Amino acid sequence: RVYCIKAFDLHPADPNGKADPYIEVATPSNVVSDKLNYVPNQLNPVFGRCLEIAATFPVDTMLAIRVMDWDRLTKHDLIGETIIDLENRFYSKHRGTCGLASKYSTSGCNSWRDVEKPTEILERLCNTYNLPLPQYYSKSVLVACKEF
């Protein structure tokens, strides 16, 4: 799954100084395009989309996330892209499968999207590294004799 929330300050791709952006994700063997949900006349679009793509190691190790400009009559233009090494993230010991937000939100555009809650992640990490389970207080948490 790839969550595409928002883009900032996109390069104008249309003669009117705007763009009609949409998201496309691709591996070497698969492409998923969300062109039916393009955002018209925007340089700061809010996508709020989740795209799912199948990937198989060792063939599909690289994931390209592209912002494309939708055009009615001509070829759709590439506005920008980033490449993510999936194999590197998958085998990382630093929980590279999903980033950790600095704040836990239950609603809105920054709502928690991970399958595990922050407390579950912390407890699993403590178990993995043979640390005592965290102790929770009203405004802090104690992990391995350190208060956060």
Q: For residue range 75-113, what is the model confidence (pLDDT) as tens digits? A: 999 999 999 998 888 877 766 666 667 778 888 877 887
Q: Edge-to-edge, what's the strand order for the sheet holding 62-69?
A: 30-33, 21-27, 62-69, 77-85
Dist. CA 89–CA 94, nearest whole Å: 8
CATH number for the domain running over 2-90: 2.60.40.150
| pLDDT tens digit sequence for 14-68 | 888 999 999 999 999 999 999 999 999 999 999 999 999 999 888 999 999 999 9
Q: Look up residue 46 and give its amino acid.
A: V
CA distance readout (Å), 5 to 57, 107, 115: 26, 14, 18
Residue written as token pair 């055009």: 71
Q: Are the C-beta atoms of 3 and 23 separated by less than 8 Å?
A: no
Q: Whole-prediction pTM value?
A: 0.68
| pLDDT tens digit sequence for 105-141 | 888 877 887 788 889 989 998 998 899 999 999 999 9
Count of positions (residues) in the chain: 148
Delimit the domains of the chain by residue range.
Answer: 2-90, 118-147
Query: Of 39, 49, 60, 36, nearest to 3 (Cα)?
Result: 49
Q: Within 10 Å of residue 12's Cβ, how many Cβ atoms?
A: 12
Dist. CA 129–CA 29, nearest whole Å: 37
Residue written as token pair 């969300």: 34
- What pLDDT does residue 106 have? 84
